[in-house]
């Protein structure tokens, strides 16, 4: 066994891989729900495409990993607390997946890590300035940006193609939507897999394996593989909510939603902002529906989604805190 790789560190890495795998099938809907609901691609084909592009996107950077791994809590957080945070996030992801609730894996991980860090070292361990500037603000503003971007892209497309016969518009955007769904899957991998990279690297620093925070190549590859494998497992419950229950979609609407969401997520990844891809694509779908008419959006479903979004960080902070507290009592 390499020096420093204790059984606890190996268990932490295994938990991080499980979280990334669950994130893959939990958030598959972010990339492929619209392309499936518009019947442009069959579910199996869409999920396979998303798996490959999630893997490719995960290999493109580490800025988000640095924010998650070194910006939320201090590097002195013990391995047991980091493992407890992963347990809390996994439990919430499984609960929301089972009930088809499109909650945020990003929120779950950040909330659990915050709660576990506070349970182990006290409230001072949280980096509140980074949490506000690089986590909280982007998480709150990104759905608004996604909604507005999709609204205006959809309105622009309606103006451009208003005089074209529907029999020509449909086939055009059936092809275009394959590209937009691919772009969304690539963007999703580039933001979400990095969160697992950050957690594993935080564990390596905490264990003394790494002298400072930098993401090793093997961690990047492992996280990308786990997310790609999880994506192959699919997430059909959430696909149903995202692709059919928010608003009725056709290929042109799916193209507008995926393109706007992909652009927002790509920009955030380059800036190191750990966004909720669920929030961004969900708000983009709402923006597309609102561009046609406000009653095209199923607002009762939106209300239940927003409630889940608002609950995720408080609930997972408590889960992470309790998990770390119990772990410290039992094994500390």
Q: What band does 242 get if pLDDT is binned at 50, 70 and 90? A: very low
Q: What band does 28 get if pLDDT is binned at 50, 70 and 90? A: low
Q: What is the mean pLDDT of the chain?
A: 85
Q: Are 53 and 180 in contact (CB under 8 A)?
A: no
pLDDT at 243 over 50: no
pLDDT at 245 over 90: no
Residue predicted with more confidence, 317 or 278: 317
Report, as an integer, the average pLDDT of 147-171: 89
* Structure confidence at residue 187 (pLDDT): 93
* Structure confidence at residue 91 (pLDDT): 92
Q: In three state form, how does the secondary structure of the chain look?
A: CCCCCCHHHHHHHHHHHHHHHHHHHHCHHHHHHHHHHCCCCCHHHHHHHHHHHHHHHHCCCCHHHHHHHHHCECCCCCHHHHHHHHHHHHHHHHHHHHCCCCCCHHHHHHHHHHHHHHHHHCHHHECHHHHHHHHHHHHHHHHHHHHHHHHHHHHHHHHHHCCCCHHHHHHHHHHHHHHHHHHHHHHHHHHHHHHHHHHHHHHHHHCCCCCCCCCCHHHHHHHHHHHHHHHHHCCHHHHHHHHHHCECCCHHHHHHHHHHHHHHHHHHHHHCCCCCHHHHHHHHHHHHHHHHCHHHECHHHHHHHHHHHHHHHHHHHHHHHHHHHHHHHHHC
Residue predicted with more confidence, 23 or 12: 12
Residue predicted with more confidence, 58 or 40: 58
* Structure confidence at residue 313 (pLDDT): 87
pLDDT at 237 over 70: no
47-51, 131-135, 184-188, 242-246: least confident range: 242-246
Digit-coded pLDDT (tens) for 94-141: 888 777 776 778 889 999 999 999 999 999 899 999 889 998 888 888
Extents of the domains making up the chain? 7-331
Give this prediction's pTM: 0.86
Q: What band does 79 get if pLDDT is binned at 50, 70 and 90? A: very high
Q: What percent of the chain has pLDDT over 70?
A: 88
* Structure confidence at residue 50 (pLDDT): 83
């Amino acid at each position: 066994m390499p020096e420093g790789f204790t059984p606890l560190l190996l268990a932490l890495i295994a938990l991080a891989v499980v979280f990334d795998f669950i994130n893959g099938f939990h958030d598959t809907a972010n990339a492929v729900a619209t392309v499936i609901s518009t019947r442009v691609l069959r579910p199996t084909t869409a999920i396979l495409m998303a798996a490959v592009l999630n893997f490719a996107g995960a290999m493109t950077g580490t800025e988000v990993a640095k924010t998650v791994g070194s910006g939320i809590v201090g590097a002195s957080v013990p391995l047991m607390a980091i493992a407890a945070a992963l347990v809390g996030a996994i439990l919430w992801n499984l609960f929301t997946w089972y009930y088809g609730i499109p909650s945020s894996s990003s929120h779950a991980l950040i909330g659990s890590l915050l709660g576990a860090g506070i349970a182990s070292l006290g409230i001072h361990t949280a980096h509140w300035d980074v949490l506000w500037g690089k986590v909280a603000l982007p998480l709150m503003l990104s759905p608004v940006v996604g909604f507005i971007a999709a609204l205006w892209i959809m309105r622009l497309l309606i103006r451009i193609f208003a005089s074209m016969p529907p029999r020509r518009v449909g086939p055009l955007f059936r092809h275009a939507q394959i590209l937009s769904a691919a772009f969304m899957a690539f963007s999703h991998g580039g933001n979400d897999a990095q969160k697992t990279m950050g957690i594993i690297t935080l564990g390596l620093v905490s264990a003394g394996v790494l002298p400072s925070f930098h993401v090793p190549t093997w961690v990047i590859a492992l996280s990308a593989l786990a997310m790609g494998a999880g994506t192959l497992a699919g997430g059909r419950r959430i696909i149903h909510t995202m692709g059919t229950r928010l608003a009725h979609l056709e290929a042109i609407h799916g193209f507008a939603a995926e393109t706007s969401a992909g652009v927002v997520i790509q920009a955030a990844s380059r800036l190191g902002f750990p966004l909720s891809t669920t929030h961004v694509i969900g708000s983009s779908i709402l923006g597309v529906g609102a561009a046609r008419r406000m009653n095209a959006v199923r607002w009762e479903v939106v209300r239940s989604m927003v409630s889940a979004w608002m609950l995720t960080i408080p609930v997972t902070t408590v889960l992470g805190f309790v998990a770390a507290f119990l772990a410290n009592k039992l094994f500390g």
